[in-house]
Amino acid sequence: MASPLRLSVCRRGDDDRSRDWEVDAAWAAVRAEFQTAEAELSRFRPTSDLTRLNLTAGSGRPVEIPRRLERALVAADRAHRVTGGRFDPRVLRDLDRLGYPGASLGSDAASPDGDHAAGTRVVERSRRARVAVSAPVDLGGIGKGLTLRWAAARLDRRGVTRYLLEAGGDLVARGPGPDGDPWLVGIEDPAGGPDPLGAIAVEAGAVATSSVRLRSWVHDGRTVHHLLDPRTGEPAESGLRAVTVFGPDPAWAEIWSKTLFVGGRAAIAGEARGRGLAAWWVTDAGGLEMTPAARSRTAWVDGEAP
């Protein structure tokens, strides 16, 4: 998923070396979860189950897929409906067109009108594990959020009670950190500055960020990024450079961070407050702003209490 993966686990006792094998086993379980998700959900792998499904997009022909991929598509479909179409994974052709290609879908693949229509379903199920998609799907962000959810569930089942699991800046935390206080999660400067703009105190929950810092490039003489507005098929011109959301679930934190980014600076404060979201955002001018729910979770901003 093009993301560095890191697991930090707090020991039950400072000198408890006998439990090293439990931490090693937990790490192996996390890696296995991400490897399986990559094999099924990646748009970059020619052999992935998602690529196999995308090759049939627009044909109306149901394809049998693994249960994990089905769950991801159903989650993306629900997110599409809940957000009024501002979250829509059917942007793969536009990413290809803008110079961020995945696995080849072939020149003959169907490309019907209405790929970004808010009223259409992302996926149609004929029966369990047999689905059809109207347009090629990119499950990048939500796929990572779901995999964090599934990996965290495996850690919980193994009895790991104090950990922080991070995949490329998105994360899940359980229990207090090493010093007994909440984990401190930095708010990255999307302009590339070396120091975080602030820190979030997290003890139980998830944090996800949608940012233009890492995935911006020049295409046909203009700077573009990967956070597309599905209504236009173009990079969102929102007056924002990054949006971070805290919530109980990493997949929905990811969904709302992207949805709020696409909605733009003019609407983000009202919508985030209206939905009770803890959200932080960095404007094009470099300013950090946040909702009241976010302020109560902010440990510091620019080195001082918020």
Q: How far apart are CA 45 and CA 36, in angstroms?
A: 12
Q: What is the pLDDT of residues 16-39, one digit of tens each?
A: 554 788 899 999 999 999 999 999
**What is the rounded CA–CA span in Å between residue 22 and residue 3?**
24
Q: Per-residue pLDDT tens for 77-114?
A: 999 999 999 999 999 999 999 999 999 987 644 444 44
Q: What is the pTM of this model?
A: 0.93
CA contacts within 13 A on the Cβ side of 216: 16
For each of the chain's 306 residues, which pLDDT tens digit applies?
778 999 999 976 655 554 788 899 999 999 999 999 999 999 999 999 999 999 999 998 999 999 999 999 999 999 999 999 999 999 999 999 999 999 998 764 444 444 445 458 899 988 777 999 999 999 999 999 999 999 999 999 999 999 999 999 899 999 999 999 999 999 999 988 889 999 999 999 999 999 998 888 999 999 999 999 999 999 999 899 999 999 999 999 999 999 999 999 999 999 999 999 999 999 999 999 999 999 999 999 986 777
CATH class held by domain 182-301: alpha beta
Query: Alpha carbon of 116 to those of 66, 145, 230: distances in Å?
Result: 25, 22, 5
* Buried b / exposed e along 257-283 (16+ C-beta atoms within 10 A): bbbbbbbebeebeebbeeeebbbbbbb
pLDDT attached to residue 13: 63
Using DSSP, state whether 35 is helix, strand or coil.
helix
Which sign does the torsion angle of CA 12, 15, 18, 23 carry?
Answer: positive
CA 7 centroid distance within chain: 17
Q: What is the pLDDT of residue 221?
A: 92
**pLDDT score recorded for residue 21:** 83
Question: What is the CATH T-level fold of the domain 49-138, as seen in this structure?
Answer: T-fold (1.10.3980)
Domain boundaries, the chain: 49-138, 182-301
pLDDT of residue 245: 98
- Give residue 303's pLDDT: 67
